[in-house]
Amino acid sequence: MLERENPQRTRRHEYRYLFTAKHHGGDKNAAQWLSELSPNDEFAVFEGADEMDLSDEAGNLFGALSDGQDSLRFLGTLQEQIAKFPCAPQGAPWHGYPVWPLTDEKHRPSRQVFDKMVQGGLITQSMRRRLMKGDHV
């Protein structure tokens, strides 16, 4: 996959989004999006993160896709259900990659992010508890 910018911007902040080769098979040591996810699905994760302001204290965004009641879709090749979109410099396009749940807690979103996911209706309190522990929902 070649890097390409999504033609659509997010509705809330008009953020630009870049589909990166690194997270689509270009770097086997980097987190990888599932090949079954369409570019529209990937952008929908980012759009939802911006729409619900699922940000941490550093301005990074986190997102997920609902898969019915009490479930989230798998986004990454290691069964990650939450993606991280590192805060981009002003005017630059954002990019993202699947991060959680994994056994390495350094990738876990903050409690604040999980609380915003509950408030936005993306996850329930019971899902929040499971995800905070590093379990799948």
Amino acid (1-letter code) at residue 101: P
The number of domains in the chain is 1
Task: Give the model's pLDDT for residue 78.
Answer: 94
Task: Give the model's pLDDT for residue 102.
Answer: 77
Those residues with Cβ within 8 angstroms of residue 104's Cβ, 6 or more apart along the chain or in another chain: none
pLDDT (tens place) for every residue of the chain, 137 residues total: 689 999 999 999 999 999 999 999 999 999 999 999 999 999 999 999 999 999 999 999 999 999 988 899 999 999 999 999 999 999 999 999 999 987 678 888 999 999 999 999 999 999 999 999 899 99
Task: Give the model's pLDDT for residue 62.
Answer: 98
Those residues with Cβ within 8 angstroms of residue 46's Cβ, 6 or more apart along the chain or in another chain: 10, 15, 17, 61, 63, 83, 85, 94, 96
Range of the domain at 52: 4-133
- E-strand spans in the chain? 4-5, 18-19, 61-63, 82-85, 97-100
